[in-house]
């Protein structure tokens, strides 16, 4: 039997190179970032993530209550009632105080039902612990998915560096302990962006888990704040870019099937995310198109206007300069983020060449577009830049890419490479030390370029949420000044009365009462101890060094800078206030004189003494007392006002005009009183036969 002829041996063709995940275009091909150490780095990342979660939860349990929780907790209660009654209780649909119905309710629904199941109310410490634990979880989710986005761009080392940057950013970490608005929003933003990066990598046949990730991230953001609709716009923008990168403009007409897939997936994801978000937002459910747009319009102009401390001046939040957010950002992010972000923008071209361009573009665009958009729209911000917290995570991605790029450029230069490691390590150590020293309120951080928190004191808000109120109440209890077993009732006067109520009402069995007082009129009500965070104290007062004053028993500090002062109540100043109310002006003068002898820096006593002297018809002594108030607190507008009145009644018309003008320049809040004073000043000019000057004064008053 003859053998079959052997088949000719053919040269085996080499396998075709796989197409890039980003399409056939050569300029999209990028070398892989994978290394044989990826498994090792992934284990480090996993262990680090778990450690950060644990630490953040522990820190959150020790954090104080956010001052805005007054509105959040009320909204949470109304949301729970709305869903429990199947909408019969509609109080969550229109909340005048705080306009909370404009916010999505996901966080407050989840924590509200959890607290209800546990039988906790806002007066229980556990109620706030539940909220803080959830807050910490969302904060860590934001950190985690930001790091995973960095991993998709540059590998696990980039992820580890980004995760560390996020955790060692005191502002972001501090908000993660107690900020239930901005942190869940940032988490949704980061989750959606990460899964978008995966989605476009997998298109036109994405995995269902990836699609679900975008839907959940988008829904979380929208169900927290209407600004989450920005992610819908991002999805369409990035989808268009991805298609053009892979198929070119000609693909729009030559590949209708792929165009259809992009359109179907993009519209489907956007609709699913939006509908899911509406389930946690009763106000939006009532009118799914117009109501969210109404909320978005409200937030774009931030209808609630408050007085903020900026660059040493107290200005209304709608009167801040165009660079308000930029000024806050560069002062409050760690140097590793600031330098890394700026350096990353310089090396942006390198990133596009080295990595897949779309996720790089996504990170940069998501970090910078919202910032420049609010500048363009002249949007109102307050409390620093917390409304833009969501852009910070992608800033850290760009920063991490910069340091990896520097390392790569110095790979043949060992000294230079280790120098980079050392510099980055030192920059990370500085905020880490701040966090360790101020673990209860790390969000008050300012970086070394801003002079730290000491350089910010009196120029920018520090503890604007009054988080350090907790430490003040804890100190009073530790010192035995308040106790659940006290025989007598103790009254606390404070400008953060809701927070104080949450700490003392239930715990101290009604033995501790709370009364709300404004700092500028804090002695008009009787109290035993006063707790006053710096939030409502004006910049010139803080700069003067007269706060904390000599009545202060204890001060809560961050790096030695006062955040909250505990004042001793009682004494002559309260007797003086009683006498004033009874129109016993001589008795008031006597009491205020006693007070100022013991506490010469008590500007309120000097001011009320000036008022009493004016009522006694003694403008000379009134002027002297008002001058003493200004001496205690330079730039005190009330002191200038009373000094001006004393000059007016004493015949020093020119001096009175100068004092009134100085007061107006410092603080527009007293403009109505100044207008009245100007009118009286004009009358005095009339009486002197100087009608022209009187008319000038009246015209000036019209422009106040």
Structure tokens at 133: 């634990």
Whole-number average pLDDT of the chain:
89
Beta-carbon contacts of 198 under 8 Å, excluding residues fewer than 6 positions away, are 152, 206, 207, 210, 213
Q: How far lies 52's CA from each of 55, 63, 215, in Å?
A: 5, 16, 26
Cβ count near 212 (within 10 Å): 13
> Which tokens is 134 given?
């959830």
DSSP letter, residue 47: H
> Is pLDDT above 80 for 374?
yes
CA angle at residue 677 from 671 to 679, to 5 degrees? 105
pLDDT by residue (tens digit) across 235-285?
Answer: 999 999 999 998 888 888 888 898 999 999 999 999 999 999 999 999 999
Top pLDDT among 554 and 67 is at 554
Predicted model pTM: 0.89
Q: What is the pLDDT of residues 297-322, one digit of tens each?
A: 776 665 566 777 877 777 776 777 88
Express each pLDDT in 558-576 by its tens digit. Answer: 999 999 999 999 999 999 9
| Separation between Cα atoms, residue 592 and residue 556, nearest integer Å | 28
Query: Does position 456 have pLDDT exceeding 90, yes or no?
Result: yes
Does the structure show a pLDDT above 60 at 5? no
Residue with tokens 């969302």: 138
Instruction: Say what the pLDDT of residue 24 is.
Output: 45
Distances (CA, A) of 488 to 123, 474, 491, 493, 513: 21, 19, 10, 16, 11
How far is C-alpha 278 from the chain's CA centre? 25
Query: How far is residue 442's CA from residue 167's CA, in Å, rounded to a whole number?
Result: 11
- pLDDT for 625-648, tens place per residue? 999 999 888 878 888 888 988 988
pLDDT beyond 50 at 20: no
122: DSSP letter: T
The predicted pLDDT at position 23 comes to: 44
Asked if residue 428 lies in contact with residue 164, where contact means CB atoms within 8 angstroms, the answer is yes
Q: Report, as an integer, the average pLDDT of 685-693.
A: 77
**Entry field: residues in the chain:** 704
Pick 554 or 95 by higher pLDDT. Answer: 554
CB 454 within 8 A of CB 559: yes
Taking the C-alpha atoms of residue 540 and residue 534, their distance in angstroms, rounded to an integer, is 12
Q: Is 111 helix (H, G, I), strand (E, B) or coil?
A: helix
- What stretches of 70-215 adopt beta strand conformation (E)? none
Cα separation, 449 vs 557, in Å, equals 21
* Cα dihedral across residues 278, 283, 289, 295: positive or negative: negative
CA distances in angstroms from 627 to 236, 574, 580, 611, 659, listed in the order given: 63, 21, 20, 12, 11
Strand order in the sheet with 552-558: 512-516, 490-494, 529-533, 561-568, 552-558
Assess whether the previous peptide bond of 485 is cis (omega < 30° from 0): no
Residue written as token pair 């001011």: 607
Residue showing tokens 């649909």:
93
Torsion angle of the four alpha carbons 178, 180, 186, 188, in this order, in degrees rounded to the nearest 10: 130
For the four alpha carbons of 375, 377, 383 and 386, in that order, the dihedral sign comes to negative
704 vs 700: CA distance, rounded Å: 7
Alpha-carbon distance 156 to 650, whole Å?
Answer: 76
Q: Give the C-alpha separation, 648 to 279, whole Å.
A: 63
Return the SS3 of 287: coil
Mean pLDDT of 547-568: 95
Residues 566 and 496 sit within 8 Å (Cβ to Cβ): no
State mean pLDDT over 476-490.
93
Residue of 292, 45, 279, 243 lying closest to 146 (CA atoms)? 45
**pLDDT by residue (tens digit) across 114-149?**
999 999 999 999 999 999 999 999 999 999 999 999
pLDDT tens string 42-79: 999 999 999 999 999 999 999 999 988 999 999 999 99
pLDDT tens-digit map of 658-680: 887 787 777 655 555 566 667 76
DSSP string of 317-361? GGG--TTHHHHHHHHHS-HHHHHHHHHHHHTHHHHHHHS-HHHHH
Query: Among all chains, which residue has been given the structure tokens 């009365």?
Result: 497
Q: Is 312 helix (H, G, I), strand (E, B) or coil?
A: coil
Tokens of 369: 């577009």
Say what the pLDDT of residue 248 is: 87
Distance of CA 334 to the CA centre of its chain: 16
HSE-up (13 A, CA, CB side) for residue 399: 29
**Domains in the chain with CATH codes:** 35-437 (no CATH), 469-568 (3.40.190), 588-702 (1.25.40.10)
- Residues near 4 by Cβ (< 8 Å), separated by ≥ 6? none
What per-residue confidence (pLDDT) applies to 14? 41
Please state, for a pLDDT cut of 90, what percent of the chain lies above it: 68
Q: Which two tokens stand for residue 458?
A: 């009196």
Supply the pLDDT for residue 520.
87
C-alpha 82/C-alpha 284 separation (Å) is: 14
361/351 Cα distance (integer angstroms): 9
């Amino acid at each position: 039997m003859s053998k079959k002829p052997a088949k000719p041996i053919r040269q085996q063709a080499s396998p075709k190179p796989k197409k890039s995940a980003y399409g056939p275009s050569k300029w999209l091909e990028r070398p892989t970032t994978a290394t044989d150490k990826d498994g090792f780095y992934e284990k480090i990342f996993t262990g680090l993530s778990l450690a950060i979660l644990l630490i953040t939860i522990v820190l959150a349990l020790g954090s104080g209550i956010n001052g805005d929780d007054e509105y959040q907790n009320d909204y949470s209660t109304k949301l729970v009632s709305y869903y429990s009654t199947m909408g019969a209780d509609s109080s969550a649909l229109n909340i005048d105080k705080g306009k909370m119905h404009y916010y999505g309710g996901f966080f407050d629904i989840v924590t509200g039902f959890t607290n209800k199941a546990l039988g906790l109310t806002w007066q229980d410490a556990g109620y706030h612990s539940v909220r803080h634990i959830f807050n910490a979880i969302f904060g860590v989710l934001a950190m985690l998915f930001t790091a995973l986005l960095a991993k998709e761009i540059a590998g696990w080392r980039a992820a580890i560096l980004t995760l560390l940057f996020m955790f060692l950013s005191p502002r972001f970490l501090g908000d993660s302990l107690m900020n239930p608005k901005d942190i869940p929003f940032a988490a949704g933003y980061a989750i959606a962006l990460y899964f978008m990066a995966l989605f476009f990598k997998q298109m036109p046949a994405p995995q269902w888990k990836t699609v679900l990730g975008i839907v959940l991230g988008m829904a979380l953001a929208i169900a927290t704040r209407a600004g989450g609709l920005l992610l819908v716009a991002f999805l369409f923008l990035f989808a268009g870019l991805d298609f053009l990168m892979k198929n070119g403009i000609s693909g729009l007409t030559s590949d209708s099937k792929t165009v259809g897939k992009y359109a179907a997936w993009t519209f489907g994801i956007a609709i699913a995310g939006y509908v899911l978000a509406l389930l946690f937002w009763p106000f939006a459910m009532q009118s799914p198109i117009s109501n969210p747009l109404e909320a978005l319009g409200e937030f774009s102009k931030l209808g609630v206007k408050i007085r903020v401390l900026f660059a040493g001046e107290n200005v209304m939040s709608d009167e801040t300069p165009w660079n308000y957010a930029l000024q806050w950002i560069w002062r409050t992010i760690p140097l590793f983020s600031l330098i890394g972000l700026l350096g990353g923008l310089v090396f942006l071209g390198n990133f596009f060449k080295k990595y897949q361009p779309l996720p790089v573009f996504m990170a940069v665009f998501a970090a910078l577009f919202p910032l420049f958009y609010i500048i363009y729209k002249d949007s109102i911000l307050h409390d620093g830049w917390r409304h833009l917290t969501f852009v910070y995570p992608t800033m850290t991605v760009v920063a991490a890419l910069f340091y990896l790029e520097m390392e790569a450029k110095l790979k043949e230069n060992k000294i230079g490479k280790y120098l980079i490691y050392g510099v980055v390590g030192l920059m990370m150590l500085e905020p880490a030390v701040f966090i360790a020293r101020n673990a209860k309120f790390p969000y008050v951080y300012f970086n070394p370029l801003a002079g730290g928190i000491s350089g910010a004191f009196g120029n920018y808000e520090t503890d604007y949420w009054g988080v350090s109120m907790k430490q003040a109440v804890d100190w009073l209890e530790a010192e035995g000044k308040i106790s659940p077993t006290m025989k007598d009732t103790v009254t606390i006067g404070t400008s953060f009365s809701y927070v104080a109520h949450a700490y003392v009402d239930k715990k101290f069995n009604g033995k501790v009462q709370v009364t709300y007082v404004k700092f500028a009129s804090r002695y008009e009500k009787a109290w035993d101890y006063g707790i006053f965070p710096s939030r409502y104290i004006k910049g010139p007062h803080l700069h003067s060094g007269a706060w904390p004053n000599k009545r202060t028993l204890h001060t809560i500090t961050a790096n030695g800078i006062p955040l909250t002062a505990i004042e001793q109540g009682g004494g002559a100043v309260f007797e003086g206030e009683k006498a004033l109310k009874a129109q016993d002006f001589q008795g008031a003068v006597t009491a205020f004189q006693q007070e100022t002898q013991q506490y010469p820096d008590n500007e309120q006593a000097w001011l009320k003494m000036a008022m009493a002297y004016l009522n006694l018809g003694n403008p000379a002594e009134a002027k002297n007392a008002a001058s003493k108030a200004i001496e205690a607190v330079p730039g005190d507008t009330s002191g200038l006002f009373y000094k001006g009145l004393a000059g007016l009644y004493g015949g020093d018309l020119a001096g009175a005009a100068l004092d009134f003008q100085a007061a107006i320049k410092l603080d527009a809040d007293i403009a109505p009183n100044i207008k009245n004073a100007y009118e009286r000043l004009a009358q005095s000019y009339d009486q002197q036969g100087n009608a022209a000057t009187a008319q000038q004064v009246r015209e000036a008053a019209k422009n106040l």
